[in-house]
């Protein structure tokens, strides 16, 4: 009888099955060299055992919970798409992992507290005697479950197919140590993201005060110094309003359109044979699916870009849906679902926060009864905006620009940490890299 071989799951940081050691060419060269040397001769520790997903962390079926049946509470409700709401009681009374069964097949969501996985999912509950739940979460992310769709009509993950995947697992103490190392990187990423959210909220509040609520103008009308503003900056603002087609605006500020005041570049998709995932050419952003919290995520590159955005340009989704906003952190190629917008004299921070205030105008183009929402160049250029005096624009960018510079620095740290985590994760989880070696790599790769 022939020996039975279990399929071994393995997946790259981008979810594409691969076993090579070398990270993608566009990643940091120093990191690539360090990690490559460490991975040259993988070894496995004692106590590691070959088992299957079904034996180590069996999947259980989620339970239906229609939105109409949910009661007010703090228990996360999790679908294959992630968190979708809250409920008053939990179906799983521990921390655990939710795996997409239908819909977003193979998605993996970790819950630190009791939760309710709905019927489009599987779940793994905590069992601290048999396995570390964090290690199990990281392990599952390396198995390529999203590539195991078995239903062409309705995407689905077959539990039996997942259960027979072979995995190597270390003793429980080593599971905890590996999970702790990876979680420390995730915690740093989370902190940086939270910091960026706070920084952006500060800049948004400043923009709203100056250019939406016109607080400095109102303060000068009342003969007082605007809160938190020195006299020199306050003197840049008018001390009265005048009527316009947009209502009352600060006296002397111009009312016009995007086309009058800004440079607008509508994206255009280059030939398909110029695309690649190996880092050749410029990052290519096709639409909202590439957008992140503030900056797009690099997935596709293009060797023959047709329309470009420069560093600091505001990026706007112009197709299904219209009006999502990001900022270019590097020179990039714009696909047909994205437009780039900039002020002729710079003022990148002002343009970015101004674009966020155009949401109500953008929404019109998502609800006009067309097959899918979109906005063309003519309509985009016709959107109404207010342009303050350039001395005021400069003053705002002097303040908000410092905040945005910090956001960019944090984003660069996030990308470094994410690359490091995604490179180390499959090797630590599989035993190809030992913890002492991983700690050296981390220390060498981070400032």
The position carrying tokens 């069996």 is 58
**Within this chain, do residues 68 and 146 fall inside the same structural domain, yes or no?**
yes
**CA dihedral (292, 297, 299, 304) positive or negative:** positive
Expressed as residue numbers, the domain containing 152 is 49-169
Rounded to whole angstroms, how far apart are CA atoms 62 and 41? Answer: 41
**Within this chain, do residues 108 and 159 fall inside the same structural domain, yes or no?**
yes
**Within this chain, do residues 279 and 376 fall inside the same structural domain, yes or no?**
yes
**Within this chain, do residues 322 and 228 fall inside the same structural domain, yes or no?**
yes
Whichever domain contains 232, its CATH number is 3.90.220.20
**Within this chain, do residues 60 and 145 fall inside the same structural domain, yes or no?**
yes
**Within this chain, do residues 133 and 202 fall inside the same structural domain, yes or no?**
no
Domain limit, last residue, from 389, 417, 438: 389
**Within this chain, do residues 256 and 369 fall inside the same structural domain, yes or no?**
yes
Tokens of 25: 């060419």
Q: Does residue 176 lie within any of the structural domains? A: no
Domain limit, last residue, from 389, 412, 428: 389
Q: Could you tell me which of 415, 359, 360, 354 has the C-alpha nearest to residue 387?
A: 354
For residue range 198-222, what is the model confidence (pLDDT) as tens digits?
999 999 999 999 999 999 999 999 9
What are the Cα distances from residue 227, in Å, to 216, 217, 233, 396? 8, 12, 11, 15
**Within this chain, do residues 219 and 265 fall inside the same structural domain, yes or no?**
yes
Q: Does residue 27 lie within any of the structural domains? A: no
The position carrying tokens 């001390």 is 239
Q: Does residue 417 lie within any of the structural domains? A: no
Report pLDDT for 82: 95
Q: Does residue 128 lie within any of the structural domains? A: yes
Q: Does residue 42 lie within any of the structural domains? A: no
Q: Does residue 436 lie within any of the structural domains? A: no
State the burial class of residue 246 (Cβ atoms within 10 Å of its Cβ: 0-12, 13-18, 19+). Answer: exposed
Phi-psi group of 227: left, alpha or beta (phi > 0 → left; psi -120 to 50 → alpha; rest → beta): beta
Residues 322 and 249 sit within 8 Å (Cβ to Cβ): no
**Within this chain, do residues 144 and 256 fall inside the same structural domain, yes or no?**
no
Beta bridge pairs of residue 350: none
- The structural domain count of the chain equals 2
Rounded to whole angstroms, how far apart are CA atoms 441 and 163? Answer: 33
Domain limit, last residue, from 356, 373, 389: 389
**Within this chain, do residues 140 and 277 fall inside the same structural domain, yes or no?**
no
Residues 172 and 131 sit within 8 Å (Cβ to Cβ): yes
Q: Does residue 447 lie within any of the structural domains? A: no
Residues 315 and 339 sit within 8 Å (Cβ to Cβ): yes
What is the Rg, in whole angstroms, of the alpha carbon atoms belonging to the chain? 26
- Residue segments in the chain with a per-residue pLDDT below the cut of 50: 1-43, 369
Residue 84 three-state SS = strand
Tokens of 370: 């067309």
Residues 175 and 132 sit within 8 Å (Cβ to Cβ): yes
**Within this chain, do residues 165 and 204 fall inside the same structural domain, yes or no?**
no
Report pLDDT for 368: 59
Q: Does residue 293 lie within any of the structural domains? A: yes
**Within this chain, do residues 209 and 141 fall inside the same structural domain, yes or no?**
no
Report pLDDT for 370: 54
């Amino acid at each position: 009888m022939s020996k039975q071989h279990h399929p071994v799951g393995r997946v790259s940081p981008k979810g594409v099955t691969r076993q090579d050691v070398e990270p993608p060419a566009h990643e940091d060269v120093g990191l690539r060299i360090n990690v490559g040397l460490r991975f040259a001769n993988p070894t496995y520790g004692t106590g590691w055992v070959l088992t299957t997903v079904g034996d180590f962390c069996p999947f259980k079926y989620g339970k239906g919970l229609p939105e109409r049946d949910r009661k007010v509470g703090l228990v996360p409700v999790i679908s294959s798409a992630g968190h979708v709401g809250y409920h008053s009681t939990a179906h799983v009374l521990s921390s655990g992992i939710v795996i997409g069964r239908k819909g977003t097949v193979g998605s993996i969501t970790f819950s630190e507290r009791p939760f309710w996985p709905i019927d489009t999912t599987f779940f793994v509950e905590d069992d601290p005697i048999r396995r570390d739940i964090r290690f199990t979460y990281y392990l599952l992310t390396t198995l390529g479950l999203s590539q195991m769709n078995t239903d062409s009509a309705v995407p689905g993950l077959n539990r039996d197919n997942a259960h027979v995947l072979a995995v190597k697992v270390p003793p429980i103490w080593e599971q905890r140590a590996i999970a702790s190392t990876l979680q420390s990187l995730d915690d740093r990423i989370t902190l940086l993201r939270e910091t960026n959210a706070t920084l952006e909220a500060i800049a948004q509040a400043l923009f709203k005060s100056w250019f939406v609520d016109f607080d400095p103008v109102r303060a000068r009308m009342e003969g007082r110094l605007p809160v938190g503003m020195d006299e020199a900056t306050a003197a840049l603002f008018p001390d009265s309003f005048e009527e316009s087609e947009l209502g009352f605006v600060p006296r002397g500020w111009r009312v016009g359109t995007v086309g009058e005041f800004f440079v607008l570049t509508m994206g255009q998709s280059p030939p398909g044979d110029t695309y690649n995932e190996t880092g050749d050419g410029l990052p290519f952003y096709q639409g909202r699916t590439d957008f992140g919290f503030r900056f797009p995520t690099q997935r596709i590159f293009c060797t023959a870009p047709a329309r470009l955005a420069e560093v600091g340009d505001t990026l706007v989704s112009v197709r299904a849906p219209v009006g999502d906003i990001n900022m270019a952190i590097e020179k990039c190629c714009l696909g047909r679902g994205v437009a780039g917008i900039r002020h002729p004299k710079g003022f990148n921070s002002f343009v970015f926060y101004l674009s966020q205030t155009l949401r109500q105008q953008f929404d019109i183009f998502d609800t006009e009864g067309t097959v899918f929402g979109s906005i063309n160049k003519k309509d985009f250029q016709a959107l109404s905006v207010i342009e303050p005096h350039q001395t005021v624009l400069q003053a705002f960018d002097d303040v908000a620009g410092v905040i945005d510079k910090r956001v960019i620095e944090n984003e660069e740290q996030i990308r470094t940490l994410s690359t490091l985590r995604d490179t180390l994760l499959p090797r630590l989880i599989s035993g190809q890299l030992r913890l002492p070696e991983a700690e050296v790599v981390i220390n060498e790769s981070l400032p």
